Structure 1
Amino acid sequence: MTVRTRFAPSPTGYLHIGGARTALFAWAYARHHGGQFILRIEDTDIERSTPQAVQAILDGMRWLGLTPDEGPFFQTQRMMRYKEVIQQMLAAGTAYHCYMSKEELDALRAEQEARKEKPRYDGRWRPEPGKTLPTPPSGVQPVVRFRNPTDGVVAWDDLVKGHIEFSNAELDDFIIARADGTPTYNFCVVVDDWDMRISHVIRGDDHVNNTPRQINLLKALGAPLPRYGHLSMILGPDGTKLSKRHGAVSVMQYDEDGYLPEAVLNYLARLGWSHGDDEIFSMEQFIQWFDLDHITSSAAQFNTEKLNWLNAHYIKHCDDERLGEEIRRRLVREGVVDTAFPEPAAIAALYKDRVQNLNELADAAHPFYVAPHPSEELRTQHLTDGALAALRDLRCRLASAEFVPEAVAKALKETLAATGLKMPQVAIPLRVVLLGQTQSPSIDRVLAVMGREEVLKRLDAVLG
């Protein structure tokens, strides 16, 4: 059997971190088995679905690199197929028209709740041998209900949670098409999984209650059953449901916040799955190792500190040219027009061991392109008469020095020897003048990257 998995988000909001993990696991399972991964947009909720949400999903999948083999497919473009199957079910007697009004249904539920019974449809329009149905009221458009089995159980061996079963007596005849003819979620999902030959449904455990209904529908259609695996939810660090304050934001917000996609993927892979004690691994390794046997059935806990640690690791080992482009993109967004010189990649090489995210890297690069304005406090504290005299000496030496770290370091040492000062007494004032701050990577490397013209211009602005 060819493994075919799918990720099927509803475009009623952004692609959040829980959905991204589901997509990752479904994608990796298909890749591990040499199968296909399908992207399906379940957009039948017309009122809540938006083009912006669809684009956010597509952007998030693209940023993460979770490229589908097929799709995206849109349910709104498959309406004729759904209506065709509904007509086949009506003809086969596995579905029927129900003329029960909303007011009647509300009254029935109120009565059931008063008797402390589970609210459910009572089957009054369900055809049965020897049963006389009411006369359909005129002018009422009926819904279509699925004729659910009334006895026995529906069961499956969940790939994550183990054996699960429901009594069919607990499942009422649910609606598969509304009065206006539009099909409902559970029905569309079943037809899609059938038509798209989905072999494994990997999704969140909020869908467990949908699964028995979908299995019964598939059986009624004579369709093969996929294997189901329901992933436990992701909790915040405090053990409560993951929310925006924990990090349950749009996947693209992680790009905005300076995370590399491979760091996010690596972190998501470890949310509920493990391969021994391995914490850092490539997606190639993940695909090779991934299976559903090592997914925990208990909830995973989101840890921002762990994600930041992973992101710092990936930045540290990232190609300088790529980091340079990330710097450039962020600086342009901030209004920095000319990022041609110094090369952003050279700045990335200077700072990538010192940051946790790309925004911090861009912040470190900013003073290389826009001359800083040191605070009065910094100027008073560090730009003393003795420091300014040393900087004048150094400026003369730098004017004729080759601008490589070794030559800059030599000029600095000569200034120290000439003035009798120690390195911090010259290097810190120099940082204040050039960068507007007291700390930086090795000062000789900073000057070499900034370049002779800019260094001398900034020194002259202070020295007069």
Structure 2
Amino acid sequence: MTDLIAARTRVAPSPTGDPHVGTAFMALFDLAWARKTGGQFVLRIEDTDQARLVVGSEEQIYESLAWLGLQPDEGPHVGGEHGPYRQSERLTTYRPYVEQLIEAGHAYYCWCSSERLAELRKEQERSKASVTGYDRLCHGMTREQRAEMAGFSETPVVRMLIPDDVPLTFDDIVRGEVKAPRPDDQVILKADGFPTYHMAVVVDDHLMGINTVVRGEEWISSTPKHILLYQWLGWDLPKFAHMPLLRNTDKSKISKRKNPAARLMWFKEEGYLPEAVRNFLQLLGYAGDDEQEVKSFEQFVEEFDWAKVNTVGPIFDLQKLDWLNGHYIRSLSPEELADRIIAFEEAHWTPSEAQVEVLHRAVPIIQERLKLLKDALPQLDYLFVSDADLTLDDDSVAALADNAAEVLDAAIEVAESVDFATDAIQAGLKERIVEGMGIKPKFAFAPIRVAISGRRVSPPLFESMEILGRESSLTRLRDLRSRLG
């Protein structure tokens, strides 16, 4: 693909809480396009809204992107030639460009108080005005002239002066020609001296060499403002790719308030594998492209095509993710899956060497049915407790057939005599109980399962007995037998 221009892409989240899954969705396509073209992927932290910052959020952004394998080439935590990469550390950068716009007549000071602006909005709503937004009261006025009027604020903001002939259409590499609504005179510098998003994003993208801007479709309406700023400042326009918004099953926009899966860290907390989540996001971007659902990131990059992006917001179907996660779990070696489980549980469980050995032996008996890492230890808990500490589920014991004691007596005899390996245990119990006692397999092993695991439903029984060993298995069989009288 030597004809492709090396893309510099970026993702620019705000550290205002748990990272949103949309950040990873954009980062995935940013990184894929950068890799496809031999370019670079940049992480920028947009923290100019100081009132909304949440301690620890920035670190979570780094952690979650690294967990997904979407590490940037440049960013606050990795450095680079175009830093600083936090907007709060770039405040002196923006002011000269704002002054340039004022001097050229493209921007002006506005001294209107927040009270006056609120009243203006109310009046426009009451009158159902066809044109809404700021009424340009301050345009062309000096500070002294404006101070003589009501609704004056001592500290001004700076607004763009949107021309009557502002272009409202632009080319989008996902959507083709797009038409956006007419913008009003957007604030580009706030009273506290911080730039608004619209000013900062244009300046930063230009100075950082970003030539492909990948972002959500909610920014389509802002694009005419951004294009004006590029043109006024004499800068080349980047290419724009407006991605579809992820949606809940009721087709509403996915949000952290309504859907826990909107939190990027939720996937890690639930026990999803990062490769499964990444694959899931790839499918969401290419919704409707069913050529191959399971695809590595390297394959995704190799076949990357903006034309495949579906502009209809994809439904966040967690059943599909569960299926993918199960697939990736089954594709791991038992040793690697055991290591993943240990890493997942590290905050809550520090296994002994013996427990690690048990887990490695036990993983194969649950691997085929396991969907989430968080479900592994609850399924295998009976293998990690001492025989004396095993809890027998009362309902499971109560549901046993009347011949349970007789079955357990037979099981104890078999366990005392057979070679204690899975196949031999299964063959011995089948011969003694199913064939010898004429009990159907569906019912024959229920008392044994309850004795070994404490419950009616558990991972494979004979494999579990081999892992526990003869002595422990016999102790558990005898304990339940004595309980039955």
Same fold (TM over 0.5): yes
Distance 1:132 1:397, change over 3 A: closer
Pairing 1:25-36 to 2, within 5 Å after superposition:
25-36=29-40
CA distance 1:452–1:88, shift in 2 (3 Å): farther
| Counterpart mapping for 1:39-78 below 5 A | 39-72=43-76, 73-78=85-90
8 A contact 1:154–1:215 mirrored in 2: no
> CA distance change for structure 1 residues 86 and 116 in 2, over 3 Å: closer, same or farther?
closer
Q: Is the aligned partner of 1:122 residue 2:135?
A: yes
User: CA 1:331–1:269 in structure 2 vs 1: closer, same or farther (change >3 Å)?
Assistant: closer
Q: Tell me the secondary structure at the aligned position of residue 75 of structure 2.
A: strand
Match of 1:3 in 2: 7
Report matched runs for 1:301-320 at 5 Å.
Answer: 301-320=315-334
Alignment equivalent of 1:81, drawn from 93, 117, 128: 93
1:364 Cα deviation from its structure 2 partner: 1.2
Pair 1:271-2:288 in alignment: no
Q: Name the counterpart of 1:21.
A: 25
What secondary structure sits across from 1:239 in the alignment? coil
In structure 2, the residue matched to 1:387 is: 407
Q: Could you give the per-residue CA deviations for residues 149-202 of structure 1, whole angstroms, max 9, x where no partner exists? A: 3324243111222212357xx333321111221111111111111111111111
CA 339–88 in structure 1, closer or farther in 2 if over 3 Å, else same = farther
CA distance in 2, matches of 1:239, 1:166: 23
Are 2:253 and 1:241 equivalent residues in the alignment?
A: yes
Mapping of 1:121-270 within 5 angstroms? 121-127=134-140, 135=145, 137=147, 140-166=154-180, 170-243=182-255, 245-270=258-283
The one of 443, 446, 471 equivalent to 1:428 is 446
Residues 166/242 of structure 1: CA separation in 2 closer, same or farther (3 Å cut): closer
Are 1:322 and 2:339 counterparts? no
Letter in 2 for 1:173: D
Normalised by the length of structure 1, the TM-score is 0.88
Partner deviation per Cα, 1:83-117 (whole Å, 9 max, x = no partner):
23323433444333233333443444444443623
Further displaced range: 104-113 or 220-229: 104-113
Quick one: structure 1 residues 264 and 51, their matched pair in 2 at CA, closer, same or farther if it must change by over 3 Å? same
Indicate how the Cα distance of structure 1 residues 377 and 276 shifts in structure 2: closer, same or farther if over 3 A, else same: closer
Identity %: 34
**Counterparts in 2 of 1:110 and 1:459: CA distance versus 1, 3 Å:** closer
Q: Conserved in 1, the CA contact under 8 Å of 2:162 and 2:184? A: yes
From the superposition, tell whether residues 328 and 2 of structure 1 become closer, same or farther in structure 2 (CA, over 3 Å).
Answer: closer
How far residue 312 of structure 1 moved from its aligned partner, in angstroms, is 1.5
Note the alpha carbon deviations across 1:14-58, whole angstroms, 9 max, x for none: 222333222212221212222111111111111111123223322
Match of 2:109 among 89, 93, 97: 97
Q: 1:153 to 1:414 in 2, by over 3 A?
A: closer
Question: Whole-Å Cα distance in 1 between the matches of residues 457 and 35 of structure 2?
Answer: 46
Report what 1:405 is aligned to: 422
Cα distance in 2, alignment partners of residues 105 and 392 from structure 1: 84
The secondary structure found in structure 2 opposite 1:25 is: helix
Deviation at 1:436, TM superposition (A): 1.5
Is there any run of 5+ residues in structure 2 with no aligned partner, and where?
Answer: 77-84
SS in 1 for 2:312: coil
Does structure 1 retain, via aligned residues, the 8 Å contact 2:166–2:224?
no
Q: Hey, what's the Cα distance between the residues in 2 that align with 1:450 and 1:19?
A: 46
SS at match of 1:2: coil
Contact 1:325 1:344 in 2 (8 A): no
1:288 aligns with 2:293: no
Note the residue ranges of structure 1 that are not aligned, 5 or more in a row.
none
CA 1:152–1:84: 2 relative to 1, 3 Å: closer
8 Å CA contact 2:138–2:146 kept in 1: the answer is no
What is the aligned-residue RMSD (CA, Å)? Answer: 2.8
Relative to structure 1, the CA distance from residue 248 to residue 338 in structure 2 (aligned partners, 3 Å threshold; closer, same or farther) is: same
Distance 1:147 1:405, change over 3 A: same
Q: Name the aligned partner's letter for residue 273 of structure 2.
A: L
**Secondary structure in structure 1 of the residue aligned to 2:170:** strand
Structure 2 distance, partners of 1:447, 1:38, is 53
Instruction: Give distance in 1, aligned partners of 2:297 and 2:101.
Output: 44
Question: 8 Å contact 1:156–1:163 — kept in the other structure?
Answer: yes
Alignment partners' CA distance in 1, 2:421 and 2:199: 68
Distance 1:209 1:154 in 2: 9
Alpha-carbon distance in structure 1 between the residues aligned to 2:138 and 2:435: 101
Number of positions where the alignment pairs a residue of Structure 1 with one of Structure 2: 456
Q: Residue 352 and residue 100 in structure 1: after superposition, are their counterparts in 2 closer, same or farther (change >3 A)?
A: same
Contact kept in structure 2, 1:10 and 1:43, CA below 8 Å: yes
